[in-house]
Amino acid sequence: MLYGFTGNILHVDLTNRTLEIENPDEEFYRHYPGGSLLGLYYLWHNTPAHADPLSPANTLTFALSAPTGLPVSGQSRCTVTCKSPSSGGVADSQAGGFWPAELKYAGFDAIVITGASDTPVYLWLHDGEAELRDASHLWGKPTLEVDTILQDEIGDQRIEIAQIGPAGEKLANFAAIMNMSNRAWGRTGVGAVMGSKKLKAIVVRGTQKVNPADKKAVTELSKQGAKGFPGSGMENFGRYGTAGAVIGQQNGGGLPTRNWDAGVMENAEAISGERLYDELLRGAEEGKQDKDGRDTCYACIVRCKRVVESEYKNNRLRHEYGGPEYESIATFGSYCGIDDLHAVTYANQLCNEYGVDTISCGATIAWAMECFENEVINLEETDGIELRYGNAEAMLAMLKKTLNREGFGDILAEGSAKAADRLGKGHQFLLTVKGQELPAHMPHVKRSLGIIYAANPFGADHQSSEHDPMYSEKAYERYYKEPLSQIGLNNPKHPKVINPEKIEFALKTQYTYSAADTVSVCQFVYCPSWQMYGPQELADLMRAATGWEVTVEEIQAIGRRRQNLMRAYNAREGLTRDHDTLPKKLFKKALEGGRSDGIILENEELQTGLEMYYEQAGWDVTTGTPTRATLDEVGLSWAADDLAL
């Protein structure tokens, strides 16, 4: 008996308009238990080596796992996997909401999409049935309008819709896939890949229930989370969301400002999570923020999603588009030197409306601002828009051009790295790793995070490991000792230290996060630093869902397997250690102001840290590729065979 999973994986060939259901056995699910790891398996086997990411040959996978759809906080997550148009390596992105649980109720664990349609289509899944439908009438329409049209067309207000916006249709390099018009599979260009296939949307609805092996254990885990939530750090996280990080980052000198010239911003309080809560959340005027201004994902008690309702210069800020997270506030706010929270919120809304990653989009505009400030580009090139730091109107004007691929915005829609190549200038101001813009956490004040940024297979990512402050002695003893000790971390170090113990911290927590993205749970709920559940509870959840005797050690092994398969895939596509680097700007220009004043990164430290990382990971220190012995050990001998290791 297969518990937790539906046992159905839908294969969609858009070129030939065929739909087939695969029924893997339990052994397959135990080795590739969902999410990112399952998606990687199909990407490797279905996509020829060195295929163009925007060609029909690319494979686009949506994958869940056994806990998805159970009545436990943090389980409604889905990973999208494909080949990235940004890096040419693996693309990997997660999103929550209600769509993942609804896909499970519709009767599927994953959707594997190959080929490309010659006309726009959408996929309609309901109670084990699947069909392709014409989407010509949806093409060119923004996300919220598409939601409304499809609800009326299908005649069910409870359908869940994953879709691309107009930016994905126009193949913007950082296009996202959206659900609920405010949850984004944002990073690595997955929306551009979906757009290249002319797949506008995937609509799901179902009444099938998840069949866990141990319903009593699932209930106990749910009660445990609900009991521990009040008065915990997670309660405050629910109140302010990720936007609550703004002031902490500012105080630590780690709030990227003016395209990372500084780690502090004047008047940062104006774009803080507290200001967002007090002034822009829906119901703020009546003091009803907790009731109206916070949304949740399926069955989750945390309610961390922002819901805003206000206006910006006669532009309505609609609650349907949610509200800005910390990363959006930083990239459109501090990155651009802008302290107008209403303008930043409007930028976030436009990104959700058109379907783009707010991190890469905002960071690309900040890069263009630095180019303009240094006279690398001029008014003639920017269509007369004066792209200066602090100019909110200029930021929004260029954002609209970028979303529509008009004028200079057509260049910026390629992302900053490709824009610099296209212009033949501005490379000295780039802040990218493997073609992907840096998120708003600074390795200047979190040293091991810089190692993760450089080595991470899909580019710089702030949600691939724990951050250094969690492993400082004071924080470890006060908050994190129990969950971190579960994965063998017992020797905390200063946030700015790079040594073997700190690298072990980075690598082991990377495995934990990697497992979360495979078991398809929310990192904020299940990873050690967030104090609601931890590695042991994640193992308990998998055991309750599947009936397997899952341990913390197996959870770590799952994460390690996924990490090695991503790295092996990149090696197959031609990415090597040479791609594991940080932006040159970080080594050439010291930060200005605040607690991080004068800090500059050193390449020697990065290289030393990377060598320790490769050695501990079991990767060749010259190429950065997993060794044959490592791939054999993690159960990926077939990948070693393909790489001829």
Residue 228 has pLDDT above 90, yes or no: no
Q: Residue 234: what pLDDT? A: 87
43 within 8 A of 81, measured Cβ to Cβ? yes
- The residues, any chain, with a CB within 8 Å of residue 542's CB and separated by 6 or more, are 33, 66, 67, 519, 548, 550, 555
For 422, phi then psi, to 5°, come to: -65, -40
Per-residue confidence (pLDDT) for residue 232, from 0 to 100: 74
CA-CA distances (angstroms) from residue 496 to 35, 480, 511, 530, 599? 33, 18, 21, 21, 11
Measured in whole angstroms, the distance separating CA 331 from the mean position of its chain's CA atoms is 15
Residue 481 phi/psi, 5-degree rounding, is: -60, -45
How far apart (Å, rounded) are the C-alpha atoms in residues 518 and 492? 27
Residue 119: how many other CB atoms lie within 10 Å: 9
Q: Are 100 and 108 in contact (CB under 8 A)?
A: no
Token pair 């990407």: residue: 43
pLDDT of 461 > 80? The answer is yes
- pLDDT tens column, 288-321: 999 999 999 999 999 999 999 999 999 999 999 9
pLDDT of residue 226: 86
DSSP 482: H
Q: Which amino acid is it at 64?
A: L
Tokens (6 digits) for 213: 């092996």
Whether 184 contacts 104, CB under 8 Å: no
pLDDT in tens, 164-213: 999 999 999 999 999 999 999 999 999 999 999 999 999 999 999 999 99
Per-residue model confidence as pLDDT tens digits over 258-267: 999 999 999 9
CB-based contacts of 643, cutoff 8 Å, min separation 6: 568, 571, 572, 625
Encoded tokens for 263: 């780690």
Between 531 and 300, where is the model more confident?
300
User: How long is the chain?
Assistant: 645
**CA angle (432 as vertex; 505, 177 as ends), nearest 5:** 90
State the chain's mean pLDDT as an integer.
Answer: 97
Query: For residue 24, how many other CB atoms are within 10 A of its CB?
Result: 18
Whether 635 shows a pLDDT value over 80: the answer reads yes
Q: Cβ distance 315 to 272 under 8 Å?
A: no
Instruction: Identify the residue whose tokens are 């060195």.
Output: 50
DSSP string, 262-331: BS--TTGGGGSHHHIIIIIBTTGGGT-HHHHSEE--TT-S---EE-B-EEETTEEE-GGG----HHHHII
**Which value, to the nearest 10 degrees, does the dihedral of the CA atoms of residues 33, 453, 188, 539 take?**
20
Q: How far is CA 195 from the centre of its chain?
A: 18
pLDDT at 531 over 80: no
> Percent helix, strand and coil across the chain, each rounded to 5?
45, 15, 40
Does the structure show a pLDDT above 80 at 529? Answer: no
The rounded distance, in Å, linking the Cα atoms of 622 and 241 is: 41
- Residue 188 and residue 436 in contact, taking contact as beta carbons nearer than 8 Å: yes
Report, as an integer, the average pLDDT of 515-537. Answer: 91
Looking at residue 149, its pLDDT comes to 98
What pLDDT score was predicted for residue 225? Answer: 86
The pairing of strands 294-295 and 129-134 is unpaired
- Cα 133 → chain centroid: 29
Which 3 state secondary structure label does DSSP give 400?
A: helix
HEC readout, 170-239: CCCCCECEEECCCEEECHHHHHHHHHHCCEEEEEEECCCCCCCCCHHHHHHHHHHHHHHCCCCHHHHHHH
Region 404-429: what's the mean pLDDT?
98
Q: Please compute the mean of the pLDDT values over residues 269-293 and round it to a whole number.
A: 96
CB-based contacts of 554: which residues, under 8 Å, 6+ apart? 539
**Letter for the amino acid at 72?**
V
Q: How far apart are CA 535 and CA 520, in angstroms?
A: 14
For residue 566, what are its two tokens? 């991503």
Dist. CA 106–CA 87, nearest whole Å: 33
Nearest in space to 58 (alpha carbons), one of 162, 164, 165, 199: 199
Q: Is-contact 70 522, C-beta < 8 A?
A: no
Average pLDDT rounded to a whole number, residues 93-122:
98
Residue 643: exposure state from Cβ atoms within 10 A (0-12, 13-18, ≥19): middle
User: Tokens 């490797």 belong to which residue?
Assistant: 44
Q: How many helices (H) and strands (E) does the chain have?
A: 28, 18
Cα-based angle 89, 90, 95 (whole degrees, multiple of 5): 145
Determine the longest span between alpha carbons in the chain, in angstroms: 67
> How far is it, in rounded angstroms, from Cα 465 to Cα 456?
10
Q: Which of 102-116, 395-409, 515-529, 609-623 has the lowest mean pLDDT?
A: 515-529
Place 358 in a pLDDT band, splitting at 50, 70 and 90.
very high
pLDDT at position 536? 96
- Of 512, 521, 543, 516, the closest CA to residue 74 belongs to 521
Tokens of 174: 């950082």
Q: Which residues have C-beta within 8 Å of that of residue 331, sequence separation ≥ 6? A: 358, 359, 361, 362, 363, 366, 437, 440
Q: Is it the case that residue 72 has pLDDT exceeding 90?
A: yes
What is residue 567's three-state secondary structure? helix
Tokens of residue 401, six digits: 């051009």
Task: State mean pLDDT over 325-335.
Answer: 98
Least confident residue range of 400-409, 476-485, 630-639: 476-485
- Please report, for residues 199, 453, 461, 488, 512, the alpha-carbon distance to residue 465 in angstroms, rounded to integers and kept in the order given: 32, 10, 9, 15, 8
Q: Tell me: the pLDDT tens digits for 585-601?
A: 999 999 999 999 999 99
How far, in Å, CA of 151 to CA of 138, rounded?
A: 12
- % of the chain with per-residue pLDDT over 90: 96
pLDDT band at 109 (very low <50, low <70, confident <90, very high): very high
Q: Is 435 helix (H, G, I), strand (E, B) or coil?
A: coil
Measured CA to CA in angstroms, residue 556 lies from 31, 83, 189, 545 at distances of 13, 25, 28, 18
- At 21, is the secondary structure helix, strand, or coil? strand
Three-state DSSP class for residue 243: helix
